[in-house]
Structure 1
């Protein structure tokens, strides 16, 4: 059956987690959709930071009633691109995350290499890589974790569209998108979806294979939905100044 967006109303849900860091905000409707299409049994995120993307995966998992376990991995100390920060970032995230998702999700303070020992081969259906964004770092993360991906596995790569300040995800994307079925969401710094499993979920395959005009229409919809969520966030107290300040840090200092 061909992909039909209206079969997946979770796309229109309002995100429960909405931090001051806007790097992932416009991708949240896509995250909701992907969880609905893939129905993952295990979700892992490398590079959680404030948790907007990770909590979107958890929110969709809970809303859809999926029997899944989720794990968000970060050392929560920052880096040369995200900037340095203290324990308050993880503490704030736990206050949101633990009461809502603690029954099926855990936040694991660790490096990505340290965390690998917790996951057996072929066990992860959805992996989001959003750590250090140099070419060397993202390639290492991708290939280190690739054996852990299931035969239905999908990997998401964030910041594919950023080509400055040491960001090299775009180089890695150009390589892996030639080897696997893939599609790029071009708004909000770029999010690449790579189907690395040998048995791609039919619904995911249909989404990735959409004709370019329909894909562009979806990109436009995700952007409109994300902007609507931003307006709701602004109405609840988020200042435009804070968002502009974050944007200046991204393009002047390479933070995300």
Structure 2
């Protein structure tokens, strides 16, 4: 088995243990060990990241930026995504220059950095992440210092560390938006059917008509059976106008789905009011 295959198998085993009632007492210490192990490996790259951010890094094309975060810094910022799909997604976002972006699932921060680079120079960005999340998220608090240097000088970034399913987290998001309608909502946190559906139904209320609601991992996963976004995506794609960004339908993981928020949602909210 390759190193990447071994790591994937280990992650899957860890998820099963953490979710099991029998081993629930292991959850907190296991996640703390993961935090510390990852932090030791990443701290050595902090000076390199800060140096790159102080230069002209943000001025590069989406393709150049993606190459950079996939190749440099020992993967510290590398997203859990297909590189070609990510580029097409970022180019799609760049075409509308969003003024307000909400991301659920900060993880390593790579997608947050890319979104900030292609958003409006005065954009407001909100990124939500669950500490010790099961799907690659849960960045340590010290990384917030790095993430805050991702954004442009006139952009605003709000980092919310909490469970996106909790009412308190949603309220923090609403407060951070300050009545600004969301142009791009990127859902990439909880990857279970139930979890993604909760995020979708709750946070879509913040998206303007014509805004983009973006889902990651819309393909059936052959790598991790706990990733069950695909069934929800099929339901959504059946009911609404959607786009799919997929490198290959045989790849067995990843895939990005884009839903354009319909005007009917706004009409429904107005009638309810």
Query: TM tier, shorter chain?
Result: 0.5 to 0.7
State which of 142, 147, 169 in structure 2 corresponds to 1:97.
Answer: 147
Helix, strand or coil: the match of 1:145?
helix
> Are 1:116 and 2:166 counterparts?
no
| Counterparts of 1:147 and 1:189, CA distance in 2 | 25
| Equivalent position of 2:194 in the other structure | 136
Q: Is the 8 A contact 1:122 1:149 kept in 2?
A: no
| Equivalent position of 2:21 in the other structure | none
Q: Is the 8 A contact 1:17 1:56 kept in 2?
A: no
Helix, strand or coil: the match of 1:78?
coil
| Equivalent position of 1:28 in the other structure | 86
Q: Is the 8 A contact 1:44 1:70 kept in 2?
A: yes
| Counterparts of 1:86 and 1:104, CA distance in 2 | 20
| Equivalent position of 1:78 in the other structure | 133
| Equivalent position of 2:243 in the other structure | 183
| Counterparts of 1:100 and 1:158, CA distance in 2 | 22
Aligned length: 183
Q: Is the 8 A contact 1:122 1:151 kept in 2?
A: no
Cα 1:76–1:31 shift into 2, 3 Å: farther
Q: Which has the higher contact order (CA 8 A, sep 6+)?
A: 1
Q: Deviation digits for residues 149-177 of structure 1, max 9, x if unmatched? A: 11121111111113352221100000001
Q: Deviation digits for residues 106-160 of structure 1, max 9, x if unmatched? A: 2211221332113277711100111111111111110111111111211111111
Q: Deviation digits for residues 9-65 of structure 1, max 9, x if unmatched? A: 94433235443555225133223312222221210100111111121101222xxx5
| Counterparts of 2:128 and 2:139, CA distance in 1 | 16
Deviant stretches of 4+, over 4 Å: none
Normalising by structure 1, report the TM-score. Answer: 0.63
Normalising by structure 2, report the TM-score. Answer: 0.59
Give the greater-gyration-radius structure (CA).
2
Aligned-pair RMSD on alpha carbons?
A: 2.7
| Counterparts of 1:167 and 1:22, CA distance in 2 | 16
| Counterparts of 1:13 and 1:48, CA distance in 2 | 21
Q: Is the 8 A contact 2:108 2:139 kept in 1?
A: no
> Are 1:45 and 2:107 counterparts?
no
Q: Is the 8 A contact 2:79 2:109 kept in 1?
A: no
| Equivalent position of 2:270 in the other structure | none
| Equivalent position of 2:123 in the other structure | 68
